[in-house]
């Protein structure tokens, strides 16, 4: 079994940095915000429901759940993210915690969302098992994951450029694949194994509107854990080459500007607790 301890420590370290959390909320989250209504719809959020927003980050999903009328608890391991969420969503309750070991009683919630959180935990199946434990029978789960580099979009542009031009001395520790749970062939069996059924998978055409084709490079460098851990330590010549390659891909695929719609497609998978 792969030792994911170093990966877990990297994730906690990166997301605990106020600069990283703030950069995510200001920039990168413009793409994740587009996915939020799909998560809220998938769990059929409504008045009087008890909803748990795991890996809540800056609270964008929590805010939409509150607006739908749910009573919302948001949980994250990053104090920096929780500071942003509490300021942004005073109508929700936010707690610091571990998504693999939830401090809630069995069958506490009617709905559970995970907005792009599964790639940031060392053992996603444990998170899904805990999600099922705290959901009532018939309750719904929905989680989002960015599509991988096989789908045209910024994720592939940036990580492809890192692979081609990044320093070979800079690498991530072993951990789950960043896009694993966008694949129903991985997600559905993992959900079924812990007591979910009635699966659904939807692709969401998320992305960014930018007036500089290099902005996705900055979004990943400044406002993500995996991307930041790979990009921030790059020697200057490697960083320039990576950014130039991202710019070229965007120009080749999305025209000469002066503004660009850069795709960052996502998958939303949902299921019902049985």
pLDDT score at 3: 84
CB atoms within 10 A of CB 238: 18
State the distance between the two ends of the chain, measured CA to CA, in whole angstroms: 29
CATH number at residue 102: 3.40.50.150
> Is 123 part of any domain?
yes
pLDDT score at 75: 98
pLDDT score at 126: 97
> Is 154 part of any domain?
no
What length is written for the chain? 274
- H or E element in which residue 49 lies: none
What is the rounded distance in angstroms from the CA atom of residue 142 to the CA atom of residue 272? 9
How many domains does the chain divide into?
A: 1
Question: How would you label 93-109 residue by residue, b for 16+ Cβ within 10 Å and e otherwise?
Answer: ebeebbbbebebeeebb
> Is 74 part of any domain?
yes
> Is 165 part of any domain?
no
Collect the ranges in the chain with pLDDT lower than 70: 1
pLDDT score at 141: 98
Digit-coded pLDDT (tens) for 238-263: 999 999 999 999 999 999 999 999 99
pLDDT score at 1: 55
Q: Provide the domain limits for residue 113.
A: 5-148+173-207+265-273
> Is 57 part of any domain?
yes
> Is 168 part of any domain?
no
What pTM was computed for the model? 0.96
Instruction: Confirm if 96 and 79 have CB atoms less than 8 A apart.
Output: yes
């Amino acid at each position: 079994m792969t030792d994911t301890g170093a990966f877990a420590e990297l994730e906690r370290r990166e997301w605990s940095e106020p600069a990283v959390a703030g950069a995510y909320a200001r920039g990168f989250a413009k793409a994740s915000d587009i996915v939020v209504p799909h998560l809220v719809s998938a769990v059929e959020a409504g008045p009087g429901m008890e909803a748990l927003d795991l890996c809540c980050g800056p609270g964008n999903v929590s805010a939409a759940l509150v607006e739908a009328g749910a009573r919302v608890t948001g949980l994250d391991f990053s104090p920096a993210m929780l500071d942003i969420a509490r300021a942004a969503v005073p109508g929700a309750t936010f707690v610091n915690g571990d998504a693999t070991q939830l401090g809630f009683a069995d069958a506490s919630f009617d709905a559970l969302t995970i907005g792009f959180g599964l790639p940031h935990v060392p053992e996603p199946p444990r998170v899904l098992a805990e999600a099922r434990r705290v959901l009532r029978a018939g309750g719904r789960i929905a989680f989002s994951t960015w599509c991988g580099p096989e789908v045209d979009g910024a994720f592939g542009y940036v990580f492809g450029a890192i692979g081609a031009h990044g320093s070979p001395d800079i690498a991530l520790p072993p951990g789950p694949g960043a896009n694993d749970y966008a694949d129903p062939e991985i997600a559905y069996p993992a959900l079924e194994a812990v007591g979910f059924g009635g699966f659904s998978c939807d692709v969401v055409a998320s992305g960014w509107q930018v007036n500089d084709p290099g902005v996705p490079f900055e979004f990943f460098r400044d406002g993500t854990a995996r991307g930041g851990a790979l990009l921030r330590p790059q020697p200057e010549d490697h960083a320039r080459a990576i950014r130039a390659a991202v710019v070229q891909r965007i120009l080749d695929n999305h025209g000469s500007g002066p503004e660009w719609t850069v795709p960052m497609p996502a998958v939303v998978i949902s299921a019902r607790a049985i």
